[in-house]
Amino acid sequence: MKIGIVGASGFTGAELLRLCASHPGLDIAVATGDSQAGNRIADLYPSLAAAYGDRVYDTYSPDLVDGLDLVFCGLPHGVSQSVVPELRGRVGHIVDLGSDFRLHDPELYPEWYGAGHECPELLDEFVYGLPELFREQLVGAELIAATGCNAATAILALAPVLGAGLVEGEALIVDLVTGVSGAGRPAKPHTTFCAVDEDVTPYGLLTHRHTPEIEQALTEKTGVGTSVLFTPHLAPMNRGIIATCYGRPTRPTTTDEALGALADLYADEPFMVVDERPPSTKATLGSNTVHLTARVDPRTGLVMTMAALDNLMKGASGMAVQCANLALGLPETSGLPIVGVYP
């Protein structure tokens, strides 16, 4: 399959380049990066030199992608809204890694993103890109909005116990820690080495943009109306996310029952590991696999679920490739490692 990456110079674009280099069914025909146009891919990311040699970043134009089977969009928020309408009809499938098309309700964009949506008529045509929960809709889908990294971690941790009726949908709490690569490649004052080293900082208090995405996906999957208090923390690590989620039980329950709910939902999923062992971010490094566990505290009665994943893999580019495999009719696991890198 001939594919393109629009926005291949960012971290998610680099990860897509890495994954596609060893994917048996995908061939990169176009890799744009307007801020790096004309520069060699290997000069920006030496780790990709063996696969891409002297290849340079292309300058984006819609004509460049005509006839491709699929295009990944790895663009900053707000940019895909202007790019997707001109790509549609030129290519077979579009997988957007940004947040421009994840929410179905256009009224949520001014509230959570501070601006109205440029093409709200397309929102209902996009399929939410979380294969473990919405696989049927992704098979052959033309338009896919890949799940956000923070949102994916929280949704995958909470969906089993919520769907099994073990926790109430109201006042769910998500306490999450994420690595710095989630903020993207361009330098920012709060992501420099001196800012993040030996520091952990909460951000997006009460207003983080992934909140409505978490609520939407959980409600659609389980049929239970949800409200989520989501608090992410920036930690001094390159990549990785771990979420600890809490819910009030609907009835007395046990750790075995909570673990059983996770195991049942993800029993046949190749990228999901459910274990009594607590998850860790490093166990997921470089893989498309999520590690999960659960506990029920007999003293407070609260149900706790935990999930860890690599934010650039299962949280972004790995998820996007998994969705692309489904859309293109390829084996879902093609090109995606299930084993992490250690140490």
CATH number at 27 reads: 3.40.50.720
The answer to whether 223 and 186 are in contact (CB under 8 A) is no
- With respect to residue 201, please indicate whether it lies within any of the assigned structural domains: yes
Residues 184 and 306 in one domain: yes
One of 20, 73, 149, 245 is an active-site residue; which one?
Answer: 149
Q: Structurally, how many domains does the chain consist of? A: 2
Residues 206 and 271 in one domain: yes
- pLDDT score for 179: 95
Say what angle helices 11-21 and 318-328 make with each other, to 10 degrees.
50
Q: Which of 76, 108, 125 is the C-terminal boundary of a domain? A: 125
- pLDDT score for 188: 87
**180-209: burial string, b at 16+ Cβ within 10 Å, e else:** bbbbebeeeeebeeeebeeeeeeeeeeebb
CATH number at 190 reads: 3.30.360.10
Q: Is 245 a catalytic residue?
A: no
- With respect to residue 329, please indicate whether it lies within any of the assigned structural domains: no
- pLDDT score for 156: 98
User: DSSP string covering 185-246, please?
Assistant: SS--GGGSHHHHTT--EE-STTT-THHHHHHHHHHHHHS----EEEEEEE-SSSS-EEEEEE
Q: What is the mean pLDDT of residues 214-234?
A: 98
Distance CA 35, CA 8 (A): 10
Residues 173 and 295 in one domain: yes
Q: What is the mean pLDDT of the chain?
A: 97
Q: Which of 32-36, 226-230, 302-306, 321-325 has the lowest mean pLDDT?
A: 32-36
The answer to whether 73 and 81 are in contact (CB under 8 A) is no
Residues 83 and 165 in one domain: no
Residues 6+ apart with CB under 8 A from 312: 11, 12, 15, 149, 181, 239, 318
Residues 49 and 95 in one domain: yes
- With respect to residue 324, please indicate whether it lies within any of the assigned structural domains: no
Residues 62 and 157 in one domain: no
Range of the domain at 220: 150-311
The answer to whether 196 and 234 are in contact (CB under 8 A) is yes
Residue-wise pLDDT tens digits, 68-84? 999 999 999 899 999 99
pLDDT at 223 over 90: yes
Q: Which of 125, 158, 185 is the C-terminal boundary of a domain? A: 125
DSSP letter (8 states) at residue 169: S
According to DSSP, the residues that pair with 143 across neighbouring strands are 94
- With respect to residue 323, please indicate whether it lies within any of the assigned structural domains: no
